[in-house]
Structures are given as C-alpha cells and as structure tokens.
Amino acid sequence: MCTATPFEEALVADVLATAGSETTRSDRPHGADRSGWARIGGPIAAAALFGLAGGWLTPRGPTTTVQTLVSLAAALAVGAAAGYLMRSRWSMLIAPAVYVAVFELTRLDVAGPTVDRIHLGSMYGLIAFAVGRGFHGLVVLAPMALGCLWGVWLASARLRPGARPPGTAGRVVAVLWTLVVTALAVVVAIPSSTAPILGSGGTPPPGSIAELTTVALGGHDQALMIRGRSADNPVLLYLAGGPGGTDLGAMRADTGLEQDFVVVTWEQRGVGKSYSSLDPVDTLTVDSMVSDTVELTNYLRERFDEERIYLVGNSWGTILGVRAVQAHPELYWAYVGAGQMVDVAETDRMFWEDTLAWARATGDTDLADRLQAYGPPPYSDLLRYEDAVGREHDWNTYPELDLGKEMPAILFVPENSFVDRVNGFRSFLDTFAALYPQLQTIDFRRDATRLDVPVYMVEGAHEARGRVVLADQWFELLDAPSKESIVFEHSGHRTLFEEPASFASLMRRIVSETRPQD
C-alpha cells in the first residue's frame, strides 16, 4: 500500500480544500473549474509543452541574446498562466519541475559537458553546471517561478475561489524579484559593439574599419571581428587556441597590429559568439574546421581584393593553420605559429609527467594520487584533463605571466554581450569535448614536414616543455621556402598577447620579407 508524502498531502489539501466550495455552488464566479485536479492539469500541460519546445528549439538552453530574451518572456507568461490557473503558490514549484523534467528528456541525445551528467567534484564540472543548467535556470526557471507568483496574485485580485492574496512579505518579495528579473533582461539585451578606430583628431581615419559581423562558413553562421586603420592594408587572419577558445578580448587589449593590418579575429564554429552553430556536433570535425578556414580565407581575399593573406595561429589555431597552408599554400603570404602545437597526445603525456612531478615536490598528495590513478592521457573522461594539463600556471610560473590576458578575464570586453560571455565558457567545454579526441592522432613530425610558404615560429622563453621540445623537433624537420624560429624572452605560450609590441614589429618585418612591394 502506497502512502502519500507530506509534500503530496499538502499540495492536494491546498488545491482540493479551496476547490470544495466550487463543486457545491452553482454560481461559480468567472467560470470556475469543476474540480481541483483540473486546476493542476492545465498548468502541468503548459509547462510540459514549454519544456518540449525548449528541448527541441534550444537543446543547450538559450545560446543567443534573442533566444534568451524570448525564453525569459515565455517563461514569465507560462508561469503567470500556471499561477493563475492553479491559484496556489505550489505552482512556483510544480511548473518549473515539470518544465525541467520534459526539457531534459527531450534533449537526451545532445552531448557535451554542460548538458551531460552533473559533476560537482571538480572545477570544470562546477563551471559546466554553472554555465549550462545554472544559466538556463537563471533565465527560464527564475522568471517562470516569478510568473507563477504574479499569476496567483492576479487570481486573488479577480476573486478566483481559493486564491489567497499575498501578504506584505509576499508583495515585497514579488516586487524585488521583478526588479531583479527586469535588470537581468536589461543586461542581457545590451548589444555587443566594437569601438571605432580613431585618428589624431578624434575621428575615424578615412578607409578605417571596425566591425563585428557574421559570415556563413560551411553552412554555419560564424562571427568575425574586423579591425584596421586602413582597409587597404594587408589582411591578417588570426586563429585562436582551444579548441573552443575565444580571443576577441585578448586581441582588443592592444591595438598595435591593427595599425598596419586588417586584423580578422575569427570566432570559430561552436566558439563564443559562434557557439549557437555548434550543433549538429557530429559534423564538427578537424577537416570541417580546416575547410572553414580556407573558405574564410577566400571570403577575405575577395572582400579586401587581396591576392593572399597572412595566417597567424596560436596553440590549437596552429593546427588549423598548418593544415590550411598544407591544403592551399597559394592563398597565404606566410604562416606564423605562436605556441606551435605538433603532437597533442605526446604534449599531454609530458604535461601529465610535469604536473605529477610538481604535485609530489610540493606535497600535494591528493593530486599526485589522482594523476597516478588516471595514468597518462589520453582520457575518455575529458574532465580528467583538468588535473593532468590544467595546472600549467601552477608549475610553470614566470614573472611576466599576466592572467588578465587569459580566460576568463578576456571575456569582459564590449565586443561580447552577456550571452557571449556565457558562451565563452560553454564553448571552452562543449567544443573542446567535440574536437579534442580527434586531435590524438596528429603528429606534424610525420604529417607536415613540408609547407610551401614562408614559416615563422614564435616561441616564448617560458613555454612549457611539452610544447617547445616537440615544436623544435618539428621545425628542424620542416622543409619550407624559408623558415625562422623566434624566441620572445618574456613570454610563455601566448607570445602575441604577452609581448604585443614585439609581435606587431615582427609582423611588419614579415610583410617586408614576403609581400611584393607596390
């Protein structure tokens, strides 16, 4: 024999007790329901349909500003309807719970750390929960519960049977909650923008360009930031690291490159401002990303009437860069690799060794035991990479290291809207999870020993052993029309951002050495 829980008893008592007078009176005001159960069925159906629509249309939760604002407004409306029909504050619990259950069931086939099983035992797991289900709850569940509160209040104002008017405390909560949700909507609605390039007179120089735009690559809309003092300058396409990394903010920290180049910073598919183009994940491959790189190159060549462009990659971006140059050397004046990657699997194994040695040397037995239990990468559970390769700044510190030029600090620039910043975290996890396993068989010492363009490899003197050793080995094997290895003495992995003036100066020299002069 089943017994009701205290929650069930309280709910049924609250709903049925107030419905009793309706079922015995013939003068039901405002067309009152025939039973208390009908008052539950309508709100449940509305919340379930909303969850079904959300799981189908936005399976990762809202991923754009428009989706977020529409979801917020719809959640308020559904909550208000549920509260009005149920006439009970229990609607604030029931409607969101039904929505979550249906939404999660509808999106079961969607993959990625922000939508998979919840892992709260690691920093990566906490971030995945916060920017995935946490953000979704903020913009959908909180407004829905608020709508329920207002619905009950409206029902009581219209003298619906059983609807209890809120007391003073309830009114205060409703008003404050409304102000918070309104403020959230305002913050979400603030558009992204990039400042104009200004000349000495405080106005944009003739021919300058400063824009955020979107271009279709491989059938998916992807975002670009394009900035330059003159649209007639050479075009430089920057490929950010990751996979899943965004560098709009890092590129905006210094304006040196845009004085002599049209600098194009690409938010790759599934990254930051392009996160909404992540799905379907099974079509996101290294080959498709290389194809997108080439397609974007041709778009830029045509738009700016350039025979060739300069290709600059950092970290994962160097993998894209090498592969694109291999496929179409005729499109590029030169390839510049900063923080060059060569063999991801071997790099990760070396990082695991260095992290384990550091943990033992510093007495961090918990970390050492976990690493020993995991064994060296690769891992099927991508959250393990947090311990194995995510501690670089702990064991590879140096005086010039500036975390303000790395995630998450670089997200907080006007070029990113509120949702873009959330997406910056989501792409760091979900896009990484989709692409990183595909990198485990890459080894440029075997697969890319010839590039038919001038090659410049820029290393930091403080670069980690797991990268620099392999990069130097590859560079020795490389056959190219010309090649040069440059070391920046005050940098680590992100040379172009750690020493931007030196990098801009290097790029000016590269132009003089590789591009025909008019």
Mean pLDDT confidence for 196-222:
95
289 and 411 inside one domain = yes
Return the SS3 of 487: strand
pLDDT at 131: 97
Amino acid code (one letter) for 334? A
38 and 162 inside one domain = yes
434 and 337 inside one domain = yes
pLDDT at 242: 93
Spatial contact of 360 and 353, defined as CB atoms under 8 Å apart = no
pLDDT at 17: 46
The verdict on residue 518 lying in a domain is no
247 and 165 inside one domain = no
pLDDT at 175: 93
176 and 294 inside one domain = no
For 272-293, the pLDDT digits (tens) are 999 999 999 999 999 999 999 9
Mean pLDDT of the chain: 92
pLDDT at 383: 86
180 and 245 inside one domain = no
> Pairing between strand 220-228 and 209-217?
antiparallel
66 and 149 inside one domain = yes
- Provide the percentage of residues in the chain whose pLDDT is more than 90: 83
Cα–Cα distance for residue pair 52/480, rounded to 1 Å? 55
pLDDT of 29 above 50: no
- Alpha carbon separation from 118 to 22, 121, 193, 279, 355 (Å, rounded): 44, 9, 34, 21, 26
The verdict on residue 363 lying in a domain is no
DSSP H stretches of helix in 390-417: 392-395
Cα–Cα distance for residue pair 274/253, rounded to 1 Å? 21
Return the SS3 of 265: strand
Spatial contact of 162 and 13, defined as CB atoms under 8 Å apart = no
Pull the structure tokens for residue 196: 């104009």
pLDDT of 271 above 60: yes
Cα–Cα distance for residue pair 111/279, rounded to 1 Å? 10
18/383: higher pLDDT: 383
pLDDT of 368 above 50: yes
The verdict on residue 31 lying in a domain is yes
Pull the structure tokens for residue 297: 């190159």
pLDDT at 165: 79
- The CATH number given to whatever domain includes residue 427 is 3.40.50.1820
For 389-428, the pLDDT digits (tens) are 999 999 999 999 998 889 899 999 999 999 999 999 999 9
Spatial contact of 458 and 495, defined as CB atoms under 8 Å apart = yes
Q: In terms of pTM, does the model score above 0.85?
A: yes
pLDDT at 317: 98
Q: Identify the bridge partners of residue 214 per DSSP, sorted by sequence position.
A: 223
Instruction: Give the angle subtended at the CA of 196 by the CAs of 191 and 201, to the nearest 5°.
Output: 145
Residues whose CB falls within 8 Å of the CB of residue 205, separated by 6 or more in sequence, listed in order: 197, 198, 199, 229, 230
The verdict on residue 330 lying in a domain is yes
pLDDT at 15: 46
pLDDT of 320 above 80: yes
Pull the structure tokens for residue 343: 């063999």
> Pairing between strand 309-314 and 455-460?
unpaired
The verdict on residue 355 lying in a domain is no
Among 59, 161, 164, CA closest to 102 = 59
User: How far from each other are the two terminal CA atoms of the chain, in whole angstroms?
Assistant: 91
pLDDT at 183: 97
Residues of the domain holding 503: 209-343+394-513
Tell me phi and psi for residue 245, to 5 degrees: -90, 145
Cα–Cα distance for residue pair 83/97, rounded to 1 Å? 14
The verdict on residue 426 lying in a domain is yes
Cα–Cα distance for residue pair 463/493, rounded to 1 Å? 5
pLDDT of 27 above 50: no
pLDDT at 36: 61
334 and 420 inside one domain = yes
The verdict on residue 204 lying in a domain is no
Tell me phi and psi for residue 167, to 5 degrees: -80, -170
pLDDT of 25 above 80: no
pLDDT of 13 above 60: no
149 and 223 inside one domain = no
21 and 145 inside one domain = yes
For 502-512, the pLDDT digits (tens) are 999 999 999 99
Tell me phi and psi for residue 237, to 5 degrees: -100, 125
Please count the structural domains in the chain. 2
Lowest mean pLDDT, pick from 165-169, 421-425, 498-502: 165-169
Return the SS3 of 320: helix
Cα–Cα distance for residue pair 51/57, rounded to 1 Å? 10
For 95-135, the pLDDT digits (tens) are 999 999 999 999 999 999 999 999 998 899 999 999 999 99
Residues whose CB falls within 8 Å of the CB of residue 23, separated by 6 or more in sequence, listed in order: 34, 35
pLDDT of 79 above 80: yes
- Provide the percentage of residues in the chain whose pLDDT is more than 70: 92
Cα–Cα distance for residue pair 163/161, rounded to 1 Å? 6
31 and 101 inside one domain = yes
Mean pLDDT confidence for 485-496:
97
401 and 500 inside one domain = yes
pLDDT of 488 above 90: yes
- Residue 10 — pLDDT band, cuts 50, 70, 90? very low
pLDDT at 367: 96
Cα–Cα distance for residue pair 122/386, rounded to 1 Å? 8
Amino acid code (one letter) for 226? I
- Residue 257 — pLDDT band, cuts 50, 70, 90? very high
- Residue 518 — pLDDT band, cuts 50, 70, 90? low
158: part of which helix (H) or strand (E)? none
Lowest mean pLDDT, pick from 64-78, 246-260, 376-390: 376-390
The verdict on residue 112 lying in a domain is yes
pLDDT at 423: 98
